[in-house]
Amino acid sequence: MGILDRRKRVGVLSTLLASFFLGWAPILGKMAYAGGATPFTVVALRTAVAALLLWFIFLLLWRGEIPIGWKALLGCLGVGIVNGLGSLLYYSSLSRLNASRAALLNTLYPLWVVLFLFAAGQPLTMLTLLRLALSMTGTYLLTRAGPGELDWLGVTLMIASAAMYGWHLVLGQWVLADVPSRQATLYIVTAMACVVGLARGLQSQPVEPVAAAGWRAIIALGLTTALSRLAMFAGLEQLGGIETALTSLLELVISLLLAFLLLGERLSVGQSVGGVLLIISLALMTWDRNVRLAEGEDFASWEETTA
């Protein structure tokens, strides 16, 4: 019990730390856009910075963890490809929405985790259905309220991004059953960098002029991406997909606070109500125990029992 409690504490601390770094993403992304960068350029450069930073750290401190088997490598590549495609959707959406609305819509990803695990065999409870109803209502209020004409393409892209992020957490849970989290992070982020770099290259356009402030934001995004992935996969290894997704509450609070302080964004009354409904839906997940893996249970063994 003591070992499980310690693993739980380490997992919670890791995911909280990951949420802190992830909460900066919409703010730094907006700052990079203000500096003249386009969405695909931001994604490609920030992920390249993150991958190069991780390789530098591994070569300096963790060289013995670089060798990896082919099966484990393929699993990491799969997670990285999904996360890379999700990143393209996220930053394309962010260029069309304000940071606050983007952060709130992105909190749908824990619900996608629940739905994906339900499709894999976990039960769907009445409480789960209630949370889904609250989330849909909150999303409706969030997208319908507020000044100005709503960019529905931006909303659709962010919802799709949340789905991809949720799927990458589920895939990551499977991969981490066999691969240490730190080693997995290196190859997942590297795969992300290849995917988004290829997408940027296929645009066949030179990199646009970016102001110094934009470059600082991109480099900061690269740093927070590397640190958030190291912490997130460490937490995912200990807690599982749904437990890890619960920490999106902290990510949301940080994003909204930073958007208020640094970007001067404000939520309308209707948007605030929608955001509260999303938060309540996520908070109810702590009581929805039937959709959570048993503490200390290995996901691979669970998968065998439900096959």
Is residue 305's pLDDT more than 50?
A: no
Helices (H) and strands (E) in the chain, counts: 14, 0
Q: State pLDDT tens for residues 96-106.
A: 988 888 887 88
Give buried/exposed letters for 139-171 (b at 16+ CB in 10 A, else e). Answer: bebbbebbeeebbeebbebbbbbbbbbbbbbbb
User: Residue 307: what pLDDT?
Assistant: 42
Find out whether 142 and 36 touch, Cβ atoms under 8 Å.
Answer: no
Give percent of the chain above pLDDT 90.
38
Is residue 295's pLDDT more than 50?
A: no
What is the DSSP secondary structure assignment for residue 304, as one 8-state letter?
Answer: H
Q: State pLDDT tens for residues 39-68.
A: 999 999 999 999 999 999 999 999 999 999
Alpha helices in 95-211 (DSSP H): 99-106, 109-119, 126-144, 152-175, 181-201
Q: What is the average per-residue pLDDT within 198-204?
A: 91
Q: State pLDDT tens for residues 107-147.
A: 777 777 767 766 666 666 777 677 767 777 776 676 665 55
300 falls in which pLDDT band (50, 70, 90)? very low
Domain map (residue ranges) of the chain: 10-114+149-261
Give percent of the chain above pLDDT 70.
78
